[in-house]
Chain A
Amino acid sequence: MIDFTAVEQGLALLFSSFAPWVVVVPGIVIGLIFGATPGLQISMAMAIFLPMTLYMDFVQAMLFLTAIFTGGSFGSGIPAILMNIPGTSSAIATAFDGYPMARQGKHNQALGVALLSSVIGVLMGYLILFVMIQPLSLMVLKLGPAEMFAVILWGMTLIASLKGDQVLKGLLAGFVGLLIGTIGFNELGMARGTMGQAYLLDGVPVIPAMMGMFAASELFKLANKGFIVESEASRKVKISEIFQGFKLALSYPWVMIRGGLIGVFVGAVPGVGSSVSNLLSYVETQRRDKDPSSFGKGNPKGVVASESANSTSEAGSMATLLALGIPGGGATAVMLAAFAMHNITGGPQFIRQQTDVVYAIIFANFAQVFLLMVIGLLFIPLLANIVKVPMRYLIPSVLVLAVMGSFGLTGNMTGPATVLVFAVVGWLLRHYGYSVPAAVIGMLLGAMAEKSLLHSYQISGGNLAYVLERPVTLIILALLLVSLFGQRLMSWIKRRQSPVGA
Chain B
Amino acid sequence: MSTNKRDCGDLLVLMALAGFTLWYLLDAIRVSSAVQNLLLILPLSLVVLVIVLLEVALRLKQGTLLTRPEGEGEPLHRTLPVVGLFAAYVVSLETLGFDVATVLFIALFLVMKGERNWLLLGSYSLTFGFGVAFFFAQMLPYPMHMLVLQG
Q: Is the CB of A396 within 8 A of B106?
A: yes
Q: Is the CB of A175 within 8 A of B44?
A: yes
Contacting residues, chain B, for A216 (C-beta < 8 A)? 86
Other-chain residue from A407, A420, A462 in contact with B140 (beta carbon distance below 8 A):
A407
Contact B110 A393 (CB under 8 A): yes
Pick the contact of A190 from B37, B40, B83, B110 — CB < 8 Å? B37
For the complex, what is the distance from the CA of A171 to the CA of B47, rounded to whole Å? Answer: 10
CB within 8 Å of B: which A150-194 residues = 168-169, 171-172, 175-176, 178-179, 182-183, 186, 188, 190-193
Contact A427 B89, beta carbon cutoff 8 Å:
no
A294 close to chain B: CB less than 8 A? no
B48 touches A48 (CB 8 A): no
The residues of A that contact B113 with a CB separation of less than 8 Å are 223, 391-392, 395
- CB < 8 Å neighbour of A48 from B35, B128, B139: B139
A6–B89 alpha-carbon span in the complex (Å): 58
- Chain A contact residues, majority secondary structure: helix
Chain B, interface residues (CB within 8 Å), range = 35 or more
Contact of B98 with A432 in the complex, beta carbons under 8 Å: no
Q: How far is the CA of A424 from the CA of B106 in the complex (A)?
A: 19
Interface residues on A, range: 35 or more
Pair B86/A188 contact, Cβ less than 8 Å: no
Binary A-proximity of B39-60 (CB < 8 A = 1, otherwise 0)? 1110011011001101100100
Residues of chain B lying within 8 A (CB to CB) of residue A193: 24, 27-28
Listed stretches A102-110, A280-288, A448-456; interface member: A448-456
In the assembled complex, how far is the CB of residue A456 from the closest CB belonging to chain B, in whole angstroms? 9
Q: B93 interface residue, CB < 8 Å from A?
A: yes
Least Cβ–Cβ distance between A113 and chain B, in angstroms: 28
* Cβ of B82 under 8 Å from chain A: yes
Q: Which of B49-104 contact A (CB under 8 A)?
A: 51-52, 54-55, 58, 68, 72-74, 76, 78-79, 82-83, 86-87, 89-90, 93-94, 98, 102
| Chain B residues closer than 8 Å to A405, beta-carbon distance | 136
Compute how far the CA of A177 lies from the CA of B73 in the bound complex, rounded to whole angstroms.
23
Q: In the bound complex, do residue A223 and residue B82 qualify as a contact, i.e. CB atoms below 8 Å apart? A: yes
Chain B residues within 8 Å of A424, by CB = 83, 87
Q: Does A220 contact B (CB under 8 A)?
A: yes
Bound: A405/B144 CA distance, A: 12
B contact residues vs A (CB 8 Å cutoff)? 9-10, 13, 17, 20-21, 24, 27-28, 31-32, 34-37, 39-41, 44-45, 47-48, 51-52, 54-55, 58, 68, 72-74, 76, 78-79, 82-83, 86-87, 89-90, 93-94, 98, 102, 105-106, 109-110, 113-115, 124, 128-129, 132-133, 136, 139-142, 144
Interface residues of A (CB under 8 A from B): 48, 168-169, 171-172, 175-176, 178-179, 182-183, 186, 188, 190-193, 216, 220-221, 223-224, 391-393, 395-397, 399-401, 403-405, 407-408, 411-413, 416-417, 419-420, 423-424, 427-434, 449-450, 453-454, 457, 462
